[in-house]
Structure 1
């Protein structure tokens, strides 16, 4: 602990007895200082203060006296009061947010329940109105079933009458078709395919015999028959000559693919 003494800072001092009584001329002390006239004091030599030791408390003598008698717990309580107030405001804000959220959720739930009740009542009304048209709906279902059956049953249909007429029109005028044998696919079973890899897939086979008075050029006939719709390929058969009538008979086999389907009952594209 160190003690610091402060000296007065007045620039004047009281006159001393030496200053008032000095011997003068004639043996009398006439050098008395006039009353009330200050004299300058000699400056005191400055003394160098030793620095206080670390950790030592300093007591200032002559300063304004101040004493803090409050215990540290009181100051700590004052400092923590603001923290407690902020925490209280935070808790209050959290409670308010939760109350608002719960209220909003409850309001949304009530609105959703009301909308559900309105929708349910509309559904009941629509079902009651549909009961009046049950017969019409039954007829519509039967018509749709019949249309679907037509589409399935006619899915492999080929209009053979114009097709065979096209064969006769394509052949040379001197050639007359005598017999025709048609084998077509069914909607209930797959059509058998040839094991010959050179022959294309087919859905029907047309085998016919033609008569001509001249030697038939069957390869030329096959090239002409390629114009038929759905023509896949053709195979030439045997050629025979009737010695009595001098008439040639040639056999031809045509394979037809799915492009020849009539598609009568397929829905039309809008």
Structure 2
């Protein structure tokens, strides 16, 4: 029996390229090249920074310019509005002077017409209460405004101190009784006060029918003022 020789087995060992077995690296790049590369990278980063800065500045400028334009437009509108209001105000510049002039005129009118009496009303009422047997030959009405502190000018101690006028009537009557009746009627008219005989005499000279000549004086009370020119309270 022959013996076969044993087979020879070849074994291969594979060494993995890991950090456990680092490879030796040799950098043969000259330092000038490396420095140039680093400079180029730095220059690129600086360029990007400059571009970014310029972009930010440009955006800020655009924003500021837009805001300035808006402010300028608003200012122009306000200036135009101001000019318009000034033009309108100029149209009414004379109004205060006109109002002052009207006020002065109103004050002057009120002062001048403070003692206004509507005499036609009183003369009409006086005629309405006159008996048929009485007629007038003259009627004189005088306004005498009362001055504060001034003494009464009338010599009649019974005359009202606050009288503001006087009416002197002369006329003729058929009988004394008609004159007395007329005086009583006159005393009942509001605004007339202190109706007094100044003179009364029978006139029968050469006449078939004698008559009575009379003069009557009547004081006018402050209630006779019309107050037409006194400003009404609002």
Structure 2 stretches lacking a partner, 5+ long: 1-84
1:198 maps to 158
Q: 2:102 aligns with which of 128, 143, 146?
A: 143
2:170 maps to 209
- 3-state DSSP class of the match of 1:229? coil
Kept in 1, the 8 Å contact 2:131–2:178? The answer is: no
RMSD: 3.0
Distance in 2, matches of 1:136 and 1:240, equals 65
| C-alpha displacement of 1:209 | 1.2
Kept in 1, the 8 Å contact 2:183–2:195? The answer is: yes
Pair 1:241–1:197, CA change in 2 (3 A): closer
| C-alpha displacement of 1:203 | 0.8
| C-alpha displacement of 1:130 | 5.2
Q: 2:139 aligns with which of 177, 180, 183?
A: 180
Q: 1:248 aligns with which of 191, 199, 212?
A: 212
Distance in 2, matches of 1:173 and 1:261, equals 30
1:103 maps to none
User: TM-score by structure 2 length?
Assistant: 0.54
- 3-state DSSP class of the match of 2:199? strand
| C-alpha displacement of 1:195 | 4.5
Distance in 1, matches of 2:154 and 2:199, equals 20
The structure with higher relative contact order (CA 8 Å, sep 6+) is 2
Q: In the alignment, does 2:194 pair up with 1:230?
A: no
Pair 1:148–1:187, CA change in 2 (3 A): farther
Distance in 1, matches of 2:230 and 2:184, equals 32
Structure 1 residue ranges, 4+ long, deviating more than 6 angstroms after superposition:
187-191
2:225 maps to 261
2:12 maps to none
- 3-state DSSP class of the match of 1:182? strand
CA deviation profile, 1:7-54 (whole Å, cap 9, x unmatched): xxxxxxxxxxxxxxxxxxxxxxxxxxxxxxxxxxxxxxxxxxxxxxxx
| C-alpha displacement of 1:131 | 5.1
Kept in 2, the 8 Å contact 1:191–1:203? The answer is: no
Q: 1:133 aligns with which of 92, 98, 118?
A: 92
Would you say how many aligned residue pairs link Structure 1 and Structure 2?
A: 146
| C-alpha displacement of 1:257 | 1.5
Q: In the alignment, does 2:122 pair up with 1:163?
A: yes
- 3-state DSSP class of the match of 1:168? helix
User: TM-score by structure 1 length?
Assistant: 0.47
Kept in 1, the 8 Å contact 2:173–2:179? The answer is: no
